[in-house]
Structure formats: structure tokens, C-alpha cells
Amino acid sequence: MPDTLIVSEKTENGIHYTIYQFQAYNKEMPAFLLNVVSTKATNLKTGKVAYRHLFSNDLQLGAQTMMAYYTLRFQIEFDFRDAKQHFGLHKFKNYHQTQLNNMFNLAFLALVAAKVWQQQWAIKLKQPKLSLLDLKTIIKAQKNLESILKLHKNNLNVFLNPDFVANFVPNDIINAA
């Protein structure tokens, strides 16, 4: 792409980003002019290049605003995926407005709470890539340990530490390596 289309350039963590912005017509719909933002990321060590292209029909959007909108859009997509995958949003079969509102609110409340706990556990375990699945594994292991302790309440000498359950972390969390 010609240098006249460059909006900004920056280098972070060994990667050089070049952001281009221009307007173009779509071949399939030649009557519609599109706002196009292209990002070129060049790894300075390996020389590998990656491109990302964003499109909008709003011709007034700046490149940074358009990139921010796409980032937010994909965060919404990821949140819906997590709510469906981890908090039962995909199993919901009622179609009344109140029940739908309740289910969506509960699923996203659980998601927000889980993300807060995920951050807290990531700091506690010094695992910045701790996932929601890892969090579920930790909580399930702690609940299983509590059940075992309740079953063996007459022989608690093995578990003398009162914080044993609260600090118990299984060895098989996904991102621990």
C-alpha cells in the first residue's frame, strides 16, 4: 500500500504496526463506498507480516475509533460464548420475556463474578493466563475436597491446616505450564 494512506505507525514489544485508512468500493456492491482500515504488523525479529482489515459503511469514522469498535464487538462475542459455554445460556428453553430476562441476567452476572474471581486467582497463583475453565477446575476440586473432609470428620489429623481447603489448587489446571 502506498505510504500516503498511512494514518499511524508504532513499535511495541518487537512488533512494528502500520495503520492504513482509505475508502474503496466493493466489487459485489459497487454503489456502496466503504471505509477501510488495514493494519500491518511486522515482527522485527522474524520478519513475518500479518494483516488485519476492518470495514465500515460509516465514512466519518477514524481509524482508531473503528479499531476500538471492532475490539468491543469481539469482546461482546467472547462474553456471549463464555456465557453459553460455562453458565448454561445455551440450555435455556423458556421463551417468556421475564424468564428470558432472568436467564440472561443470571448468566451474565455469573460471568462477571467468574471473571473477577479469575483475576483474583490469576494474581494469587501468579498465572496471568488462567482461564475460566481453570477457575472451574479449582472451584470443583475445592468442593470435592470439602466433601471428602466432611466424610472423614472423625479423622481430621491429616488436615490440620484450617486454610487447607481455601488454598487447595489442583495440579491439572490448563494454563499452569
Distance CA(127)–CA(137), nearest Å, equals 14
pLDDT at 155: 60
Predicted local confidence at residue 151, as pLDDT = 66
Summarised one tens digit per residue, pLDDT across range 45-80 is 999 999 999 999 999 999 999 999 999 999 999 999
In the prediction, which pLDDT does 159 show?
58
**pLDDT (0 to 100) of residue 58:** 92
Model confidence pLDDT, tens digit, residues 85-111 = 888 887 777 778 888 888 889 889 999
Is pLDDT above 60 for 141? Answer: yes
Three state DSSP letters for the chain: CCHHHEEEEEEECCEEEEEEEEEEECCCCCCCEEEEEEEEEEECCCCCEEEEEEEECCCCCCHHHHHHHHHHHHHHHHHHHHHHHHCCHHHCCCCCHHHHHHHHHHHHHHHHHHHHHHHHHHHHHCCCCCCHHHHHHHHHHHHHHHHHHHHCCCCHHHHCCCCCCCCCCCCCCCCCC
Specify the higher pLDDT residue, 8 or 172.
8
H helices present in 87-155, as ranges: 97-125, 132-151
Domains of the chain, by residue range, sit at: 3-80, 87-159
**Per residue in 146-176, pLDDT tens?**
877 776 666 665 555 556 666 667 666 666 5
The size of the chain, in residues, is 177
